[in-house]
Amino acid sequence: MSSDEQDLRRSAALGAALRTNRRTFLGGGAAGLGALALGSLSPALGGAQAPGAKAPGAKAKAKRVISLFQSGAPSQFETLDPKPGLLDQFGQELPESVRKGQRLTTMTSGQSSFPIAPSKFGATRRGESGALMGDLLTHTGAIADKLCIVRSMVTEAINHDPAMTFAQTGSQLAGRPSMGAWLSYGLGSMNEDLPTFVVMVSSSATKQPLYARLWGSGFLPTRHQGVKLRSGEDPVLYLANAPGIDRARRRAMLDDLERLNGLREDEDPERDTRVEQYELAFRMQAAVPDLTDISDEPEAVLERYGPDVRRPGTFARNCLLARRMAERDVRFVQLFHMGWDHHGNLPKDLTKCVKDTDQPSAALVQDLEERGLLDDTIVVWGGEFGRTVYSQGELTEENYGRDHHPRCFPIWLAGGGFAPGVTHGETCDHSYNVVRDPVSTHDLHATLLHQLGLDHERLTYRFQGRDFRLTDVHGELVKGILS
Amino acid sequence: MILALLALVPVGGDGPVDFGRDVLPILSEYCFDCHGPDAAARKGDLRLDVHDDVLFVVEPGAPEESELLARLVHENPKRLMPPPSTGKAPTAAEREVLRRWIEEGAVWAGHWSFEAVEAPLLPAMSLPSGELTGWNQDPLDLLVLHRLGEQGMSPSPPAAPATWLRRVHLDLTGLPPTLEQLDAFLSGEVTDAEVVDGLLASDARAEHRTREWLDLARYADTNGYQNDFRRDQWPWRDWVLGAFAANMPYDRFVMEQVAGDLIEGGGRDAVLATGFQRNHRTVTEAGSIDEEWRVENVADRAETSATAFLGLTVACARCHDHRYDPISQVDYYRFFGFFDQVDEKGVYSEVRGNVAPILRVPSAEQEARLDALAAQIAGLEGSLLELEQSAADRHAAFRAEGEGVAQGGGEPGEAPLLEVEGALVLDGTRANAPDLGRSVEFEQDRPFTVSLWLRPDAHGAVFSRMEDTDRYRGVDLVLLEGMRPAVHLIHDWDRNAIKVVGQEPLVQGAWHHVAVTYDGSRKAAGVSVFINGVQAGLKAEVDRLDGTLATEEPLRVGTRRYAGHLAGEVRDLRVDGRVLGSGEVLALARERASAEGGVRFFLAAFDGEAAGVRRRLARTRGDRARLERDEIPTAMVLRDREVPRETRLLRRGEYDHPEGEVLTPDVPEIFGGLPDGARRDRLGLARWLVAPTNPLTARVAVNRTWASFFGRGLVATVEDFGIRGARPEHPALLDHLAADLVASGWDLRALERRIALSATYRQTSEASAAARERDPDNGWLARGPRHRLDAEGVRDQALLASGLLVQKVGGPSVKPYQPAGLWKELAGGAGQGAYVESTGDDLFRRSLYTYRKRTVPHPQLTTFDAPGFELCTARRPSTNTPLQALALLNGPTYQEASRHLAKRMLEAEGEEARLTLGMRAVLSRGPTGGELEVLKGALGRYRREFEADSMAAVELLGVGATATSPRARTPEWAAYTMIASTLLNLDEAITQR
């Protein structure tokens, strides 16, 4: 922090006397500040129940989450659930006994033939744990022993919108808070100057849109919604001072503003809060550029994330920023990477997605570990569903595509008390159905909350007369993936 | 929180326990999860929401003999209730309430809001006098005053006149008063009542009420979900505007939006009103399952209608009986049944724009143009008919001259591969498209000619031999939208294919001879198209074919995958295995036109005069089609199917699990069902909703109107009048106003007038810390309202105060400033390109008209707590965040407004007058001495700074579309702009107080 900046901050102390009621968007230093924020609402208006109730006896293993969401749904065959045995079945019809009449999207339900499409790429057992992984995942494979792979995720929806909404909010239908919003509500902020819940997006192909709802706060107060960090000059909307206004001039104007607000004779806690928000905004104006300016990163670190890290807006850059946010105690960092929806041309297009995401994902885990942050940071990687073993459209030696498949898909987790080197769950030979230890999205959410010290059955919010949960009325702790 | 509970539960207080107020909430909170209305979740076959059952565990008058109480403190954890595992346990105070209730006889009653509204008697009290004289004008105030007295509270003094004026302007119109309105009021030119009457009659009030209604109606300009394509539903929004402007009675307002299409003599506008029921999102994501999403539409309509009109949340009962409210799953699907009859699909795969059923809504001017075009078309049709009737001579001449041509061109030599004599009639469906088998094979290296007579009535595929897959392998001839012909030769679209497009469109309804030739060269240049024997100009759009065209699909006429199915007629279809020369093609064309009875083919293809008229006719028809398609707006509305759909209960709410008997549409049993003989459709529902006996409709409408003024309803949970909803602090007032609303003929404007002119509303909103602590939400109404302006109001006020606001009512939505790239980052523009800002006036319209894209809402709206318009929203939160500060400080809207406000200030003479003007424009009051001192100090500082750094002034004053030339941007103006920005950022500026 420069000395000028120190002066500006000292000058900001002017309004400090007013800050009696910290009903803040960013929260204060203490966990559970959300409780304070909601304390004045009557029961029917929500929030009278203690938010963020801790599970009895549960101790938080993790403080933060970084979610690397692979939007569009990566194929499991080329990544985390390879089935080399299928090579012998190239082009053979998928037996009806495997499909069991499960519903298909209308993109392939009319297909007369369901030819088995083995992965074009090889697979190798990686690390001491010997996890079988697609050879495309060079870098992720190299950290296989740090990962907890779940091969048996199942979901309900078969189209992107409901499936992504389900993955983020625990419900296929719009209107529920996203997980980051629940965490902001339940745990509050750990950082004075940055949002609690930050979202960043990148893409290999922009076919599958994202929606603001995916990081929305649903029926929770809007201050819990994710703040999207953009890659341009204004990482947060309207962060940069308007033309003609430098930081000193803004400081002086805010001082005027606080003086004028302070001249009102009647008391109004809402006004005090507003003054506080202007101060937070001012601090963000310094803290966010400090976060996004990576010029202090050593060359070796940049190289680890790969060449894309030098370009803003890439997945690699976002991974590096996620690490910087973990260092600054941002509670929940949500990355979205678009482009995994490979109905056709899968070999070529998936390779591009892997190239964009493989190295930075692995670099992030290693980087966190080396800085001692991995122990209390959960990193989770995965998409909204899996893909079909059979080819959508023509199957050739060189080319094929895969339709959506909700019955099984893999993810990986690292850090935050998740068991490294463990592979959990198993799918059938065609990776069509789970044969051992299915894990639902609700189960995953319950387990993530548990690691953060929250009981998913007690993290509730009353809306329209009902106590809502991230896990609805479902969710079981998955003990097998915890260390 | 504790205070709020204490206020609701009179522990150890005087007066008997009130079942509904005191007891039911405790039973609901601790017991209903397992002993409530939900049959599936019920334990021990005991329900505590039904009086008879309660008597099993309650001995009226004898608390010590009542099992209910004993269980609450039982030593045996297995018998303790609620079970310890729930983590719930009633407090000692709550147990005491139950004890006293039993002691007092365990009186039972229904839930308050499900009981009929009865106009309450006015309290027996002496009329207020002295300082409270203003409280004796309206029973509304007497009821409030009486209730305050019961609570040992007293009202607050009136707010200053200017404060009241700003308040009433903001709450009625969403805009602050102008300086002229402020001066007229303060000088006594207009009375309070005149102010209110003027505002009630204004467009601005209709706009503000419309803004509120749109939240409930989940209105947006896109269809949501994955694709989020544009839709045009603003004609419905304008219907709402018109309804509020005309003070349409609320019962009519409800009826038309529920069943306007079924109201006899309702006219176009009543049908338009049903757009309310189509504002839900619609799925266009390819691959989605139709029934799954159709059910979703129906559920959305049912749940939105329940919340908007009845203040009920029925969604819980979709999957199981409601846990707390007496609404069973059967009730849910009976209610759902009303909305299940719409003639719609669940998935409109990749369809852009409005989806059926739709209503055309031409303006008067468009109606006139339609009439004129119809007259022109009739005239041309007449001319054509005359030409046809007089064609014999011209045809004879053509046949005579044809002798020579036929000889000159020569007959095609080799035998054709395929020849279909006579007519193939195409009805525009795939099912009836003729299948000509697989005998003709097309290949990349093999020449061919396909020729035929064609009379197209609608565009679509003429013929195809093509695979039904995404690679589209094969050959076709299609008429594109606009009737231009296109030929495809495809191995794998579009990486390995040829596509050529004819530059002249065919004429709808007219006969053409069409021939396609291909020389086997794998080049677009090897393709020719002849129309009426004349080679057509072609444009090659794709030219990279190298691979087989062979497919198992047969040669079909009139159809192809993902193309319109052609309607019309085909004759003389013939395929040759070589390239026919132009003479040969011409001869083929002339053959039928020259034949006996070939006069109509001659007229269509070879008669110059008729061709000219026909071209003009086609052009005019095209004009009409374009007008209807591109210009005349449409709205999505309701139209029921002719064959009724059978509604059944869906197990766990899942679309593919219907079970049980067919359910007749009805309202929930708790309300006694529809009256005997009532129609079992939406019209029957609509009549029930607005019947004077309906316990909810009027209360909910009154409550919402109250919330428009106080920022909080008399029932705080505007969306939930059920058992878990908040109970009104002023139940008598709510019922009084509800009964009066019905008695007034559902006159909302009269209700607003009463509230706006009441003493209750006039109170100052200033309150001591003690008063706020006692009643943080002002539920008891011992002070005036205070709330932050809504998202739209924050911006609209800045535009009005600066003079930028353009007050044009209605029309398509507009796109004000938005940071570049917001849509693109999320690929959300995929369906409609980038966000292109409006120009001119449309940059400065009221925020009601800001384009609402559901997946990427405008930041002005979301930052200030507007909903995403995906679902019915009855109540917006009001938060206070740094993002709001950043938007107000740095957003171009506010920078530009500050500059314009500064310009207005500079028009006054002298520093103090200027500062006063600016403050009055924003706050409706002048500065105090202390404020003036701060502002003057700041002004002096800015002046010095900008004089020293004139580039900063130039930059500061250069924001927005209305920026003037750099030379005009003076340091003085910049200094005042900073002051204006400071004013717009004041807490008081964005607060109604």
Is B153:B146 a contact under the CB 8 Å cutoff? no
Is A5 among the domain residues? Answer: no
Quote the CA–CA distance of B476 and B551 in Å, as a whole number: 12
Confidence label for A100 from pLDDT (cuts 50, 70 and 90): confident
Is A278's CB within 8 Å of B288's CB?
no
Q: Which residue of B has its CA nearest to A265?
A: B766
What is the per-residue pLDDT across B835-885, written as a single tens digit (0 to 9) for each?
A: 999 999 999 999 999 999 998 899 999 899 898 898 899 988 888 889 999
pLDDT at A206: 64
Quote the CA–CA distance of B621 and A110 in Å, as a whole number: 39
Is B850:B814 a contact under the CB 8 Å cutoff? yes
Quote the CA–CA distance of B831 and B652 in Å, as a whole number: 34
Enumerate helices (H) and strands (E) in chain A, giving the number of each.
12, 17
Q: Which sign does the torsion angle of CA B300, B301, B305, B306 carry? A: negative
Is A201 among the domain residues? Answer: yes
Calculate ∠ Cα B566-B569-B573, nearest 5°: 100
Cα distance from B314 to chain A (closest Cα, Å)?
10
Cα distance from B166 to chain A (closest Cα, Å)?
17
Q: Is A348 on the interface with B (CB under 8 A)?
A: no
What is the per-residue pLDDT across A414-463, written as a single tens digit (0 to 9) for each?
A: 999 999 999 999 999 999 999 999 999 999 999 999 999 999 999 999 88
Is B890's CB within 8 Å of A238's CB?
yes
Which chain B residues contact residue A465 at CB under 8 A? 313, 324-325, 717, 720, 722-725
- The first and second tokens of residue A316, run together, are 């690699």
* Residue B77 preceded by cis peptide, ω within 30: no
H/E stretch holding A153 reads strand A147-154
Structural domain boundaries enclosing A464? 60-244+284-481
Is A396 among the domain residues? Answer: yes
**Per-residue H/E/C for A168-220:** HHCCCCCCCCCHHHHHHHHHCCCCCCCCCEEEEEEECCCCCCCCHHHHCCCCC
* Residue B82 preceded by cis peptide, ω within 30: yes
Mutation target to probe the B interface, by most B beta carbons within 10 A, among A20, A26, A42 is: A42
Is A158's CB within 8 Å of B225's CB?
no
Is residue B596 classed exposed, middle or buried when 0-12, 13-18 and 19+ CB atoms within 10 A define those classes? Answer: exposed
**B311 CB-near residues (< 8 Å, 6+ apart):** B113, B696, B699, B700, B703, B715, B718, B719, B720, B721, B725, B874
Calculate ∠ Cα B822-B803-B973, nearest 5°: 90
Q: Is A12 on the interface with B (CB under 8 A)?
A: no
Q: Is A129 on the interface with B (CB under 8 A)?
A: no
Task: Give me the residue from B287, B469, B854 closest to A105, CB to CB.
Answer: B287
Which chain A residues contact residue B87 at CB under 8 A? 53, 458
Q: Is A35 on the interface with B (CB under 8 A)?
A: no
Is A212's CB within 8 Å of B826's CB?
yes
Tokens 């966990």 belong to residue? A31
Residue B573 has phi, psi (to 5 degrees) of: -70, 135
Quote the CA–CA distance of A211 and A228 in Å, as a whole number: 11
- Count of alpha carbons within 13 angstroms of residue B452, beta-carbon side: 24
Quote the CA–CA distance of B20 and A212 in Å, as a whole number: 41
Is A255 among the domain residues? Answer: no
Confidence label for A14 from pLDDT (cuts 50, 70 and 90): very low
Task: Give me the residue from B289, B826, B956 closest to A106, CB to CB.
Answer: B289
pLDDT at B285: 86
pLDDT at B286: 84
Is A253's CB within 8 Å of B981's CB?
yes
**Per-residue H/E/C for B424-489:** EEEECCCCCCCECCCCCCCCCCCCEEEEEEEEEEECEEEEEEECCCCCCCEEEEEECCCCCEEEEE
Q: What is the dihedral of CA B777, B779, B780, B783, to 10 degrees?
A: 50
pLDDT at B562: 67
Is B826's CB within 8 Å of A211's CB?
yes
Is B859's CB within 8 Å of A266's CB?
no
Is B886's CB within 8 Å of A270's CB?
no
pLDDT(A175) > 60: yes
**B69 CB-near residues (< 8 Å, 6+ apart):** B63, B95, B98, B99, B102
pLDDT < 70 positions in chain B = 1-15, 403-413, 562-563, 828-832
Which chain B residues contact residue A103 at CB under 8 A? 289, 656
Q: Which residue of A has its CA nearest to B715?
A: A44
Confidence label for A118 from pLDDT (cuts 50, 70 and 90): very high
Specify the amino acid at residue B796: D
Which chain A residues contact residue B885 at CB under 8 A? 274, 277-278, 280-281
CATH of the domain at A309: 3.40.720
pLDDT(A15) > 50: no
Enter the DSSP assignment of B22. I
User: Pairing between strand B527-531 and B512-518?
Assistant: antiparallel
Strand-pairing partners, residue B453, are B513, B571
**Cα–chain-centroid distance for residue A50?**
25
Quote the CA–CA distance of A279 and A14 in Å, as a whole number: 10
Q: Which residue of B has its CA nearest to A200?
A: B825
Is A212's CB within 8 Å of B281's CB?
no
Neighbouring CB atoms inside 10 A of A180's CB total 28
- The first and second tokens of residue B778, run together, are 């002002």
Task: Give me the residue from B830, B883, B986 closest to A206, CB to CB.
Answer: B830
Is A108:A201 a contact under the CB 8 Å cutoff? no
Task: Give me the residue from B776, B886, B945 closest to A281, CB to CB.
Answer: B886
pLDDT at B519: 95
Specify the amino acid at residue B457: D
Here the contacts of B642-648 (C-beta below 8 Å, separation 24 or greater) are B642/B343, B644/B341, B645/B340, B645/B341, B647/B333, B647/B334, B647/B336, B647/B337, B647/B340, B648/B333
pLDDT(A2) > 70: no
Is A305 among the domain residues? Answer: yes
Is A341 among the domain residues? Answer: yes
Enter the DSSP assignment of B634. E
Show which of residues 363-402 on chain A sit within 8 Å of chain B, judged by CB atoms: 393-394
Which chain A residues contact residue B856 at CB under 8 A? 211-212
Is B889's CB within 8 Å of A404's CB?
no
Mutation target to probe the A interface, by most A beta carbons within 10 A, among B883, B949, B954, B976 is: B883
Q: How many residues appear in chain B?
A: 993
**A440 CB-near residues (< 8 Å, 6+ apart):** A153, A154, A155, A474, A475
pLDDT at A43: 33
Is B726's CB within 8 Å of A462's CB?
no
Q: Which residue of B has its CA nearest to A207?
A: B827
Least confident of A50-59, A258-267, B939-948: A50-59
User: DSSP secondary structure string, B522-557?
Assistant: SSGGGEEEEETTEEPPEEEEEEE--S----SSPPEE
Mutation target to probe the B interface, by most B beta carbons within 10 A, among A161, A460, A467 is: A161
Is A466's CB within 8 Å of B324's CB?
yes
User: Pairing between strand A147-154 and B527-531?
Assistant: unpaired
- The first and second tokens of residue A106, run together, are 């209308």
Q: Which residue of B has its CA nearest to A403?
A: B287
Residue B912 has phi, psi (to 5 degrees) of: -65, -40
Q: Which residue of A has its CA nearest to B349?
A: A106
**B206 CB-near residues (< 8 Å, 6+ apart):** B241, B242, B244, B245, B809
Give the A:B interface size as CB pairs under 8 Å: 276
pLDDT at B13: 44
**Cα–chain-centroid distance for residue B43?**
42
Global ipTM? 0.80
Task: Give me the residue from A201, A209, A237 closest to B228, CB to CB.
Answer: A209
Is A254 among the domain residues? Answer: no
pLDDT at A132: 97
Task: Give me the residue from B857, B945, B953 closest to A212, CB to CB.
Answer: B857
Cα distance from B40 to chain A (closest Cα, Å)?
14
Is A268's CB within 8 Å of B786's CB?
yes
Show which of residues 401-460 on chain A sit within 8 Å of chain B, judged by CB atoms: 403-404, 458
Is B726's CB within 8 Å of A45's CB?
yes
Is A277's CB within 8 Å of B945's CB?
no
Q: Is A174 on the interface with B (CB under 8 A)?
A: yes
User: DSSP secondary structure string, A324-388?
Assistant: HHHHTT-SEEEEEEE----SS-HHHHHHHHHHHHHHHHHHHHHHHHHTT-GGGEEEEEE-S-EEE
Is A42's CB within 8 Å of B288's CB?
no
Quote the CA–CA distance of A387 and A158 in Å, as a whole number: 10
Is A27 among the domain residues? Answer: no
Which chain A residues contact residue B889 at CB under 8 A? 238, 241-242, 250, 278, 281
Strand-pairing partners, residue B640, are B342
Calculate ∠ Cα A167-A172-A173, nearest 5°: 130
**Cα–chain-centroid distance for residue A252?**
38
Averaged pLDDT, A283-289? 95
CA-only gyration radius of chain A, Å:
24
Identify which of A205, A151, A170, A185 has the alpha carbon closest to the alpha carbon of residue A348.
A205
pLDDT at A420: 97
Task: Give me the residue from A48, A256, A268 closest to B938, CB to CB.
Answer: A256
Is A394's CB within 8 Å of B952's CB?
no
Enter the DSSP assignment of B21. I
Q: End-to-end CA distance of chain B: give it in Å, rounded.
A: 24
Buried/exposed B302-324: b ≥16 CB within 10 Å, e otherwise: bbbbbbbbbbbbbbbbbebbbbb
Quote the CA–CA distance of A348 and A360 in Å, as a whole number: 20
Identify which of A414, A427, A435, A434 has the alpha carbon closest to the alpha carbon of residue A482.
A414
Specify the amino acid at residue B387: L
Mutation target to probe the B interface, by most B beta carbons within 10 A, among A36, A45, A348 is: A45
Quote the CA–CA distance of A460 and A449 in Å, as a whole number: 12
